[in-house]
Amino acid sequence: MQKVHITSEKFRLGYHVMAPSGWINDPNGFCYFKGYYHIFYQYFPYSEHVGSPMHWGHARSKDLVHWETLPIALTPGDSEDQDGCFSGSAIVKDDTLYLIYTGHHLNDSDDPEDFWENQNMAYSTDGIHFTKYELNPIVATPPADNTQHFRDPKVWHYKDAYYMILGSQSKDGLGRVILYKSADLKTVVLFRGN
């Protein structure tokens, strides 16, 4: 596939993030790192319509008005995210920027509900070039009473731990949130209280 390039500067946004080409949605991982505000977004660079596999686009700004487009932060294709790098969040720890995101996998069928998801991590020390964590996924499967709808991790630090909340769906078809806890962002366990 080739990227579709937007050539007309006349209609480019002046004070908002805009990808150099393609389709975007879901801003993710807004954070401040090494003197810049960073924003990521779901990105399909090959068409102006939504498509698969999903990437993470990336821009940064010193003033939240003028934005610099950076290289794609997350590109799918590994076994953990072969069909897409879906929404997530960012957090800074020990002078490193971490991206926590949902890996998407389509099974070989025509059923759009025939997929599975997991939660993964990538990191960067310069805020531009990201390396996927070698022990991904950090959460491989949802709880047993969940469907495959298990996505959009949001991570924060509180006291001596990191917490991650995920949107999900019970096998009864009800929406729910799941809370996980980690001491180091790498070993993540289902939160059971306290």
* pLDDT, tens digit (0-9, with 9 covering 90-100), for 112-126: 777 889 999 999 999
* Predicted pLDDT of residue 163: 97
Backbone angles phi, psi at 9, to 5 degrees: -75, -20
With 0-12 / 13-18 / 19 or more C-beta atoms within 10 angstroms meaning exposed / middle / buried, residue 164 is buried
- Of 2-6, 94-98, 100-104, 132-136, where does mean pLDDT reach its minimum? 2-6
| Residue with the larger pLDDT of the pair 6 and 26 | 26
pLDDT over threshold 80, residue 81: yes
Closest CA to 85 of 49, 111, 121: 121
* Predicted pLDDT of residue 7: 45
pTM here?
0.90
CA separation, residue 106 to residues 119, 151, 169 (Å) = 15, 14, 18
Average pLDDT over residues 130-143: 95
Closest CA to 8 of 25, 27, 21: 21
- Which residue in the list 26, 83, 110, 114 is annotated as catalytic? 26
Eight-state DSSP code of residue 3: P
pLDDT over threshold 60, residue 16: yes
Is it true that the peptide bond before 153 is cis, omega within 30 degrees of 0? no
Residues near 172 by beta carbon (within 8 Å), at least 6 away in sequence:
none
| SS3 of residue 11 by DSSP | helix
* Predicted pLDDT of residue 8: 54
Note if 26 is an active site residue: yes
* Predicted pLDDT of residue 62: 96
Domains and CATH numbers, the chain: 9-190 (2.115.10.20)
* Predicted pLDDT of residue 130: 99
* pLDDT band, residue 9 (cuts 50/70/90): low
pLDDT over threshold 60, residue 6: no
